[in-house]
Each structure stands twice: as structure tokens, then as C-alpha cells.
Amino acid sequence: MKDVRKDFPILNRTVNGSPLIYLDNAATSQKPKEVVDKIVEYYYKYNSNVHRGIHTLSEESTEMYEGARKLISDFIGADNPREILFTKGTTESLNRIAERWVPANLKRGDVILLSDLEHHSNIIPWQKAAERIGAEINYINTDDNGEITIEEVKKMISDKVKLISISHASNVLGTIVPIKEICKLAHDKGIYVCVDGAQAAPHLKINVQSLGCDFYAFSSHKMLGPMGVGVLWAKEKILKELEPYEYGGGMIDEVSFKNAAWAEIPIRFEAGTPNVSGAVGLGAAVTYLSNIGMDNIRNHEIELSKYLLEGLKEIKGINIIGPREADKRTGLISFYFLNIHSHDIASVLNTLGIAVRSGYHCAMPLHNKLNIPSTVRVSYYLYNTKEELNTLLNGIKKALDILS
């Protein structure tokens, strides 16, 4: 893979007197110059509201916004750009389905199936939706290797299950979930599948059509794009039948003092002035990722996972969670020590310029189920190196010397 570090100006800064080692990519990734430049260019040359004006700037801005939609549609292998809805991010995308699709398609006594490795954003919206209609929520359990097996999914499926909402990749265990097999199983029984792709879209080559899911949600900021924008992809047929979730300017065909009729999809789902620069920035991000090649990124991360798993195993008293095999994970490893709090380890690492995440990582039910107080999560991306992981490993040993 080409040397990408020079594309990320932030990697040149120091933190607490040491070169920054940024290993908190599962929380948010850094942004390459191309993405930031594109956003600046948008504001300097094209800024104007979209879908509203007939003047040149508005037309150019609309072209950029819709151009970004096409880039993202191609990036995830959607059938067409009308299936791409811009949202604030994964959380909003999942809430939208729970708020609008669930009441129209599920009834009292139906079951929504989640898994035990879910992020809070893929639990709470369903809890609230289920509460409102009297549906039930059941959970698919991970096995001892932190994996979701198809046998376990089969066990949980019944005639009452109407929707499975599941992560494509875990933000704590790193586990890659067999979405394609789950979709096949579900669709044979008429069950819909919603995928939380927040931790997968940055790392894996996604093709929503070959995965066979019905909904796919992801966030720009975890995949080199700006914050405040994300995507909800859904099959066109589903979107055409779905009630808009917000009402106002930009999403209508006709309005009278009495009522209103909606514009075509996807515009009917984007009421009000959208985050145009965000969409344009995400378009630049997926272009950057495609130019590097998702396969190259994946191979680089597997290399780093192998290297780090080996290195961490040497550390006395460490407990690593998630799959033991590097190729069954995305780019992250979480671990803990009995009697040493993860925040203390992260604090010592921070004094060395190393950024990692500590705590529950918005997956409290999983931590409670595993009976783990909290974990340190090291998450890497295309710009991280083995040299950085060596510094991390020395940093963890230093932290243990201080804290033990």
C-alpha cells in the first residue's frame, strides 16, 4: 500500500511532547487533506442552497451534493443513488428505521432480533420502538471466540421474528459478523435485516446487494469523512413505501393550507437544508478510500492485527477479548487487566502521546454479560504502522510498571 501518512497533516503533531500515535479510529478516524480541501473548496467556490435556486451557484452546489450521493452509492454497490439517504450518522439512520419502519411493519407480539455485541445505537432505538408497539426483543449470543455463528442465529429464529438488526462488525470485539449468511437465512423466512455498518464500512469492501440486506447504516466520520453526516441505505421498494420522518421545506411535491404531497425519494427524506458540505466531504472520503483500494486497507489491517495480537499475548496478566484470529477481526483489539482500570492505562498512554479508548465503548450490555468492568480498545487504520504498535506495547508495559 502506498505511504498514506503524508496525506494526514494531524499525524505530524505532538501530544505531551511525543509524536501523536492515534489508535482511536473506531471512535473517529482522521481526515486526509483531500477531504478537508474539498470541503474548503465547496465553501470558497460553490456554497449555496441545494434543490432550490436556478442560479449557477445553486445548480453547482446541487450537482456536488447529488454527485456525492452517486459516489457513495457506487462505493457500497447500491442499485442506484435514490437508495442513499443522508443522515447525521449511524445513530440517526437506525433511529429513523425504528421510528418509521417498525410501527408500519411490526405488530404487538412480533420479535426484533439483536445480538449481544451491539452498540447502544443499535439497541436503544429498537427498545423504544418495541415498547411503543408491544413487540419483544431477543438477543443472539456470541460464542466463546466472540463470534456470531449461523447455528446460533438459526436457534433464535421463530415465526414471530420480523426483523434482525445486527452489526456488521463489533466496535468492542472486532468480530466480523456473517451478514450474507444471516440475510439468506432471514429472507427465506420473510424476515427483514438491518445492518449497523458503522465499524464495517471503513474497513471492508461493502456491496449491499451481494450482502442481501434491507437496510445498511454507516457514519462518515469513521471512514475519513467529516462529522455530522452519515448514510441510511435501503432498498428502493422499501423507501417508496416508507413515510417521511421529518416534514418541512425541500421534501414536498405540493403543499396547500390543508395538506401536502411528498417529493420523490430520496429527497422526501431530507427535509430542510441538508449538510451539503458534509455529503461532499464524504464523497471525497470514499473516493480517497477507493483510490487506495479497500482490499489493500483490509490486508494492511490484518497484518497489524496479527502483529499486535502476538505482541499483546506476551504481556503478563492481559486478557484479550474477541476472535483469536486476525482475519476474523476488523482493525481493533480490546483487552483488560484484573485490578487495573482501563482509564488508568489509557491515561499513562496519553502521557506518551498515544490515543486509545477506554471504558465501555457504548456497549455496556456486552461488558456486563462478559463480566468485564471495562476495556482498553486499540483501533488502527490505514495510516498506522508496526513501529507505532511497538511504541504502544512498550507504553502498556510502562503503564503496568507504574500501576501494578
Ligand X SMILES: Cc1ncc(COP(=O)(O)O)c(C=O)c1O
- Nearest-5° Cα angle at 205, 200 to 206: 70
**Which residues 6+ apart lie within 8 Å of 34 measured at CB?**
7, 284, 287, 288
* Min dist. Cβ of residue 305 to ligand X (A): 17
Answer for the pair 157, 140: CB distance below 8 angstroms, yes or no: no
Instruction: Supply 375's cell numbers.
Output: 476495556
Kindly report the backbone phi and psi dihedral angles of residue 161, in degrees, each rounded to the nearest multiple of 5, phi listed first.
-75, 125
3-state DSSP percent of the chain in helix, strand and coil, to 5: 45, 20, 35
213 is catalytic: no
**DSSP class of 266:** T
Which residues form the interface with ligand X (CB under 6 A)? 89-91, 119, 121-122, 167, 171, 196, 198-199, 219, 362
Kindly report the backbone phi and psi dihedral angles of residue 187, in degrees, each rounded to the nearest multiple of 5, phi listed first.
-65, -30
- Looking up cell 496479527 gives 306
Number of C-beta neighbours around residue 179 at 10 A: 25
Catalytic residue among 183, 194, 213, 362: 362
* Min dist. Cβ of residue 75 to ligand X (A): 17
* Min dist. Cβ of residue 222 to ligand X (A): 6
* Min dist. Cβ of residue 167 to ligand X (A): 5
Cβ closer to ligand X: 219 or 384? 219
Beta strands in 30-140 (DSSP E): 84-87, 111-115, 136-140
* Min dist. Cβ of residue 270 to ligand X (A): 17
Q: How far apart are CA 277 and CA 66, in angstroms?
A: 12
Cβ closer to ligand X: 119 or 367? 119
Answer for the pair 41, 240: CB distance below 8 angstroms, yes or no: no
* Min dist. Cβ of residue 6 to ligand X (A): 27
Return the CA Rg of the chain.
Answer: 22
**DSSP class of 116:** T
Cβ closer to ligand X: 89 or 395? 89
Calculate the dihedral angle through the C-alpha atoms of 102, 103, 107, 111, rounding to the nearest 10 degrees. Answer: 20
Cβ closer to ligand X: 91 or 375? 91
Kindly report the backbone phi and psi dihedral angles of residue 219, in degrees, each rounded to the nearest multiple of 5, phi listed first.
-120, 140
Half-sphere exposure for 172 (CA within 13 Å, toward CB): 27
Which amino acid is residue 337, in one-letter code? F
Cβ closer to ligand X: 348 or 363? 363
Q: How far apart are CA 243 and CA 13, in angstroms?
A: 47
Which amino acid is residue 359, in one-letter code? G
* Min dist. Cβ of residue 100 to ligand X (A): 17
3-state SS track over 82-98 = HHEEEECCHHHHHHHHH
Cβ closer to ligand X: 78 or 166? 166
Cβ closer to ligand X: 76 or 393? 76
Answer for the pair 191, 164: CB distance below 8 angstroms, yes or no: yes
**DSSP class of 145:** T
* Min dist. Cβ of residue 125 to ligand X (A): 10
Cβ closer to ligand X: 115 or 277? 115
- The residues carrying an active-site annotation are 362
